[in-house]
Chain A
């Protein structure tokens, strides 16, 4: 009985499988029919259309570059625009002999022979139907080529746009410039979106807001003959064959967003003029928002030279200039902050209850560690006599701060500077920023390889008290920290304040970002330090009295001088005798108006001598420009 069931089951099972096999066979035939129907449709019904597209006449998809967004300053002044220009382009698939073509173009003085290798690489690395921009042409060059157009297969000119910076070298270090798309960029970007674009933001705002400024590529399908000449305009076919997959159509590109940056170009101009002939940097920040009002690094360079395609020799000339115009001193210059750290240390020490600001200290012109003979000198050889915190800041007494440094110790100095942003990137929205150094025991252990160098010495604590030794800061960090002194809060420095969609004109403002590293600080301590900094510019013994004489507003400031070389114990610093490049760096930080600050500024002049000289004078001109403009505005 059981065996019969078994047999009957197997028979039924076989019938089940067989019926499924039949079912799937029908499915196979049905699917094959669909396939054949589809192939018939493409190969027979639409054959002529496709043959037209493929045979002799080919469809070329021409990418259309989006218009790059414009850049405005905070008052609506145009800082970056697009001007019409002629571009010499190559279509790789239509070129028969690339080196010969390039050589012929060089003979017409349209290309630089030194660029030939790069151009060959560029043409070979693009897809065969993608146009490659070889050079930007002047009107005369374009005319010269047009007359000989028939001799060049696969070379064409087209009207394009060139990036132009109306203020030239005023914005090179902040707005940045454009350059060829590098291999690394190629990995990062959506290549299709850059099919018609040869340049990309290389530095500054142009780089950090590249995606927003760029826009979205468009395209146009065209029928072209074997030489690459356009035969049929898309408008004349398109409509008849909408279901046809190769149909010719056009999608216009979407322009990039316009960008409003925090700079005030008039203030920028004033700052640049104030630094005329000097090497150094100026950063001005609005304390309540972190807006960068001016960012100057001198010597500057003209970004327009890059936009119009800089030749190799031109680039080398800029690169090898001993004054390094391409180097952005404001963001990447390493300067010992010198005495400008004193207000920060004084404030932090009061807050740690490690310092009574009213306790006087005697300054006899030098300081020695207990039990040691080495003398740490004050800048004033005869000393300052009895000084409290106020006088120590006003006159920039070194001995007072040597002692303060030893009292609170290197760990407290480290944290006191870090809460104001020293030793770390401020996070400004343009690239190239460095961290600077706030030295500590840990830092020394991690940054020296030899064991004997890794130990922290008490003497190093002493000089940290006046911002010398290993301590370095960038002008941006100084301005940022000064803004924090002015407003009592840290805001991330920023360039971009708003984006405007090109199509709709909608403006999206970007909110300031508040950083919360500052601890709770007693308002009386703030007041003390601000008053001391006002004393720097107003007290008869203030180090910046002369530079800030008779300002119509009140200024809180601090001078600083940073040694470039260190002197032996018995040597004297003689400015006249020193090589210019070995002279001290001068620094000045300030905010104004002192009771309601609208600007904080840091000035660094390389080899500029004392901070109370050139740097303070430059700051005066910048503050005058800003506060005068404010009064009129």
Chain B
């Protein structure tokens, strides 16, 4: 007992003195190669999706560079250091959410953005990382599985940001942030009975949620249940995206040859529906290749989680990896009509910055957890 404390205290002190201990450069080649491959593929598809609009691509390139930087830097931060920072990161990001509600920029009927002149970003995206971090931080020195008291605290950690994001309103991101926290709690050993009970409660809450949803959100859910009911309005996206995917076939129509996307049948084709552009131009084989790359990232992350040497590392790595997967699944599921249309971008590919930077920072944290695992074995 005493010894463990001294090691941790020692590491913490070292971390405070120097957040980047003078060890050799930390990098995980599997994660780096697979994620950079996804990013590169993303640029190729985006080139087609934005009709070869170079200024747009250039801006996406800059965002990509920032994301890569975030990846490399995050990989150098020792997990112990990160753990010390976690509560502040969480509080700061919740603070940003409040700021958005008070003074955010409005677009598409929702208030999601902070515009600081130089940069413009979506604080809700940061929570996809901050919530698993906070859950892992809270459980790292407490007994697993969490008891009722701890579960209550964890529920608050997850619920507060989720509610704030729902107020924006942004159903998609709120669901993902909730899932990110929930999955991390699940890894911490949430009993299956509790999960069953929560599902029942969730079903009971559905009518309540329905009454608080905005008209466009309800329209999306109704359209998901029956897209043909409104082919001119809300069902238009989903019908067009299925036509794009389906006409791509096994091999695709070839790069820059997708008619659905280039003739502007397909809406949101550079953001939420870019998966359909990929499917139209590169076919099922292209999509399988992309999904394969994603699974390498997720699989490697889960492996890192299993190999991690303390609960903080295990929970955090597992939470980040599963959130990443869910991100992919929700977007792809929405494009092929398995899930309702919620605004969730395709990881590392959709046009947009905040999501890309936080996702890459998450992968950086995975790298750091793996790279620093021997530090604690002394």
Residues of A within 8 A of B (CB): 2-3, 6, 9, 13-14, 16-18, 20-21, 24-25, 28, 31-32, 34-36, 38-40, 42-44, 46-47, 49-51, 53-55, 58-59, 61, 63, 93, 128-129, 190-192, 195, 217, 219, 221, 245-247, 249
B103 / chain A contacts, CB cutoff of 8 Å: none
B246 / chain A contacts, CB cutoff of 8 Å: 42-43, 46-47, 49-51, 53-54, 246
Minimum CB–CB distance for A464 against chain B, Å: 50
Given A17-B144, A39-B279, check contact A6 B232 (CB 8 Å).
no
Binding site of A, secondary structure by majority: helix, strand, loop or mixed? helix
B311 / chain A contacts, CB cutoff of 8 Å: 13-14, 17
Given A35-B336, A42-B245, A51-B247, check contact A3 B1 (CB 8 Å).
yes
Cα of A3 to Cα of B263 in the assembled complex, Å: 69
A40 / chain B contacts, CB cutoff of 8 Å: 284
Interface residue from A16, A25, A32 paired with B144 (Cβ < 8 Å): A16
Given A14-B314, A38-B336, check contact A20 B186 (CB 8 Å).
yes
B322 / chain A contacts, CB cutoff of 8 Å: 24, 28
Can you name 11 A-B residue pairings with CB atoms under 8 Å?
Answer: A13-B144, A16-B144, A21-B187, A24-B187, A35-B336, A40-B284, A43-B245, A46-B246, A47-B246, A50-B242, A54-B260
A38 / chain B contacts, CB cutoff of 8 Å: 333, 336-338
Residue B239 lies at the interface, judged by CB distance under 8 Å to chain A: yes
Are B333 and A53 in contact, with the CB atoms below 8 A? no
Minimum CB–CB distance for B119 against chain A, Å: 31
Are A39 and B287 in contact, with the CB atoms below 8 A? yes
Cα of A21 to Cα of B187 in the assembled complex, Å: 7
Residue B19 lies at the interface, judged by CB distance under 8 Å to chain A: no
Are A245 and B259 in contact, with the CB atoms below 8 A? no
Cα of A16 to Cα of B288 in the assembled complex, Å: 32
Interface positions, chain B 319-336, Cβ under 8 Å from A, are 322, 325, 329, 332-333, 336
Minimum CB–CB distance for A538 against chain B, Å: 62
Binding site of B, secondary structure by majority: helix, strand, loop or mixed? helix
A20 / chain B contacts, CB cutoff of 8 Å: 186-189, 318
Given A2-B1, A42-B246, A246-B239, check contact A35 B232 (CB 8 Å).
no
Closest B residue to A29 by CB, please name it.
B295
B145 / chain A contacts, CB cutoff of 8 Å: 16
User: A16, A17, A25: which has the most chain B beta carbons within 10 Å?
Assistant: A17
Closest B residue to A63 by CB, please name it.
B232
Are A50 and B243 in contact, with the CB atoms below 8 A? yes
Are A245 and B242 in contact, with the CB atoms below 8 A? yes
Interface-forming stretch among B27-35, B156-164, B223-231? B223-231
Are B227 and A35 in contact, with the CB atoms below 8 A? no
Cα of A47 to Cα of B246 in the assembled complex, Å: 5
Closest A residue to B318 by CB, please name it.
A21
Interface residue from A43, A191, A219 paired with B250 (Cβ < 8 Å): A43
Minimum CB–CB distance for A438 against chain B, Å: 41
Minimum CB–CB distance for A308 against chain B, Å: 27
B288 / chain A contacts, CB cutoff of 8 Å: 36, 39
Residue B315 lies at the interface, judged by CB distance under 8 Å to chain A: yes
Given A42-B245, A44-B250, check contact A28 B325 (CB 8 Å).
yes
B186 / chain A contacts, CB cutoff of 8 Å: 20, 24
Interface-forming stretch among B8-16, B41-49, B298-306, B362-370? B298-306
Are A192 and B244 in contact, with the CB atoms below 8 A? no
A54 / chain B contacts, CB cutoff of 8 Å: 243-244, 246-247, 259-260, 280
Cα of A61 to Cα of B233 in the assembled complex, Å: 11
Residue B69 lies at the interface, judged by CB distance under 8 Å to chain A: no
